[in-house]
Amino acid sequence: MTENTTTAPTMKAVTQRTLGDPDVLEVAGTARPEPGIGQILVAVHAAGINPTDWKHRKHRIFLGEPPFTLGWDVSGTVEAVGIGVSLFQPGDEVFGMLPYPYGAGSHAEYVTGPARAFVPKPAALSHVEAGALPLAALTAWQALVDNAQVEPGQRVLVHAAAGGVGHLAVQIAKARGAYVIGTASAAKHDFVRGLGADEVVDYRTADFAEAVRDVDVVLDSLGGENCLRSLRVLRPGGILVSILPENWDDVSGRARELGVRARFMLVEHDQAGMAAIAALAESGRLRAHVSGTYTFAEAAKAHAEAETGRVTGKLVLTARP
């Protein structure tokens, strides 16, 4: 009788066994997932790092207790497809965002996700460039287009305009025909103007709430007092969309008093949004600025850099050459 020595395929992943500082991250071997019904298995080439990654690493937010592997951005190649998948086949290059928050796991050599969380990767983008886009670009798209419905000629204020979400929001708002005002430190003004911003306010030396007026849309990624003060720059009927829920009851109440609107949102995986983002990228109107790439072994270093809050654009983990 012949003994069956077949073993399940394995992979490397950036994982953690406890919450804490960047040094809790480690590269470990684990079982390679298999695609379920309606899912695809993607060989990950690159995956962006977002603030939600280091916040989940450090604090108990949505995922609960470790162990877990973080990462929602994906750019890679389809390795296998599950039952019922007709949109993709092995060998296709795709990019997308895993379902947030419970679909995390892209900081690994392979990941599974719903086929409809992905779209074909634009040929004009490298995997690193594509891997930097999904979560941040979808956040900006869903805030500005789905919630605020930005139209040509409207005035849009983007906070932290040189950051991950902000620098993509500036480009998306410009592509929609808006007049864009961004806040950023003086050292990053040229960068933000290069993205298409019409005005840039140095938040360190000027009070944006005094310098900016009659805005139709504010995209706030800072929360707290900044969110409250942003309501003052909106014209009557204008809208603030925030991606942080801090002091939200106070913000909602104050918005009603001022005759403006306020919405809080969390990003969702969205094939239609990804298709729109891919089209903008293919046309050259949307690019992620990648300020650093890191291997899995350098994940702790990448998290430490991300946590400074001073990153211009995005940081990306690379899983393959």
- Domain assignment present for residue 106? The answer is yes
Domain count, the chain: 2
Rounded distance, CA 138 to CA 155, Å?
21
Whether the CB-CB separation of 106 and 73 falls below 8 Å is answered with yes
What is the tens place of the pLDDT at every residue in 228-273? Answer: 999 999 999 999 999 998 888 899 999 999 999 999 999 999 999 9
Q: What's the CATH code of the domain at 69?
A: 3.90.180.10
Q: What's the CATH code of the domain at 157?
A: 3.40.50.720
Q: What is the pLDDT of residue 6?
A: 60
Q: Has residue 1 got a pLDDT over 50? A: no
- Using DSSP's 3-state secondary structure scheme, residue 290 falls into strand
Rounded distance, CA 51 to CA 309, Å?
9
Whether the CB-CB separation of 128 and 316 falls below 8 Å is answered with yes
Print the domain residue range for 219.
136-264
What is the tens place of the pLDDT at every residue in 269-313? Answer: 999 999 999 999 999 999 999 999 999 999 999 999 999 999 999
- Domain assignment present for residue 276? The answer is no
Q: Has residue 59 got a pLDDT over 90? A: yes
Furthest CA-CA distance within the chain: 83
Which among 274, 279, 290 has a CA at the least distance from the CA of 95?
274
Tokens of 286: 């949307």
3-state helix, strand, coil in the chain (%, to 5): 30, 30, 40
pTM of the model as a whole: 0.96
Rounded distance, CA 56 to CA 176, Å?
33
Residue 95: partners with Cβ closer than 8 Å, 6 or more residues away = 74, 75, 76, 118, 119, 121, 125, 127, 130, 131, 133, 134, 274, 278
